[in-house]
Amino acid sequence: MDSGRKASFAFIAVVLLGVAIVGVVSVVEPHPYFTTPIQASPQRCPQAYPPESSNRTSLPNGTEVTQVAFPALVVSPGSTTILCVDYANGTYSGPAYNSVSIWNGGRAQSQDVSVSASPADLFVSDGQNVDIEYTLVAGPNSTGFYGLGLLQMCIPMPVAIGYQASQVNSSDFPGFFDARFGCPAQVLGAQIVGYSGGSIAYLRSSSSFNPTINITDVSVSSFPTSQGAENLTFKMNIQSFSRPLTAGLSLNESFVRVFGGNPDLTTLPVNDSCSWYPDNTNEVNDMKITTFQDLPPGFIQTDAPVLRMGAYSNSTYAFSILISGPIAKFTAIDPTLYAGAPGSHPELYSIAAYFPLSISGQLQSISGRCQGSSSG
């Protein structure tokens, strides 16, 4: 793993995943960019555009079912529709790019559907919200399914022309849900906040996920020894689901981080003894990262037995790390577990992120519970 990938993995690992799976829980996901509703122009876009909804249900056997409903625009041939889009959370100066294409997996332009932006150029600075009005004109011979491309929106917006809303579903837009992830070069948050003309149909998708492992009740105890070494023990409860489970400490995905100066490590959240965050990001850019596997002989000793569990079982698991040093003045570690069903490719689970061993040359005594748990 190269240093850039290691740094990215570390920052992701800072946020250990949420709540243990107990009973049936349904979660409605918030919009990723906007935390409060934005009012559309009542003159041009009197109808509020509904947001995408995502409901995730965790069943007692560990299966997670996700149901997504995505709004698609439905309009009539020979009509004009206006969409009001709000842009925020970034900086942009340039054309309000837009396009409309036949939804056939290709780039062929429709001959009887057009879209334009007003204003034609967008200027947004940090802290601003700026609206663009997109006008979609559907000609008399435009019946079909289209993708409306709008500035800074990940994928084309689905548009059905010449149908009733009750006739439109996800099968009319093949590949839509497969293409919804990954937004390269996205510098703004974009949200459709209102529209005039037309109606809304919902494209629906349902998927299930059978997790391999659930890690809860994580705790840590870290203290210096009389010989000047640092001794750490991580303890946790591990639950398996529908498949047997093999887990253990991953030596080639656990890291020692050495900083040239003080990274100002703070816990995140405050009551989490395992998740730490470097406030001084300048030191992160220059840190040296070494995997446990690549450390010099004698620098580290691990007591991390391989855990083997049957399906639908629970176990208490602990592993210990003794770091004999010499330990640099500003040093932290990221221990990572691997877990998977026998014969399958193992997955990785962060147990702690930027956990401090030495601050200003002083070895650390840290004991407490950790906020996060993870399933995957």
Domain boundaries, the chain: 3-21+211-375, 25-209
> Which range among 3-17, 108-122, 320-334 shows the weakest confidence by mean pLDDT?
3-17
Q: Per DSSP, what are the bridge partners of residue 203?
A: 70
Mean pLDDT computed over 304-320: 95
Report the run of H or E that residue 237 belongs to, with start and end.
strand 230-240
Which pLDDT band holds residue 57 (cuts at 50, 70, 90)? confident
Q: Specify the higher pLDDT residue, 236 or 110.
A: 236
Looking at the whole model, is its pTM more than 0.85? no
For residue 285, give every residue at least 6 positions away whose Cβ sits within 8 Å of its Cβ, in sequence order, or none: none
Residue 341 has pLDDT above 70, yes or no: yes
What's residue 31's pLDDT?
A: 36
Q: Specify the higher pLDDT residue, 21 or 50.
A: 50
Residue 15 has pLDDT above 90, yes or no: no
End-to-end CA distance of the chain: 21
> Which range among 6-15, 55-64, 145-154, 205-214 shows the weakest confidence by mean pLDDT?
6-15
For all residues of the chain together, what is the average pLDDT?
A: 82
Report the run of H or E that residue 3 belongs to, with start and end.
helix 3-13
Which pLDDT band holds residue 9 (cuts at 50, 70, 90)? very low
What's residue 326's pLDDT?
A: 84
For residue 344, give every residue at least 6 positions away whose Cβ sits within 8 Å of its Cβ, in sequence order, or none: none
Mean pLDDT computed over 214-224: 93
Report the run of H or E that residue 114 belongs to, with start and end.
strand 113-118
CA dihedral 289→292→293→294, nearest 10 degrees, is: 40
Mean pLDDT computed over 42-58: 85
% of residues, the chain, pLDDT over 70: 82
Nearest to 88 by CA among 144, 32, 134: 32
DSSP code per residue over 142-198: --EEEEEEETT-SSPEEEEESS-GGG--GGGSTTTGGG-S--TT--SEEEEEEEESS
Neighbours of 227 (CB within 10 A): 9
What's residue 295's pLDDT?
A: 93
pLDDT in tens, 249-266: 999 999 999 999 999 988
pLDDT in tens, 72-92: 999 999 999 999 999 988 889
What's residue 160's pLDDT?
A: 94
Mean pLDDT computed over 296-305: 93
Residue 201 has pLDDT above 70, yes or no: yes
Mean pLDDT computed over 5-11: 35
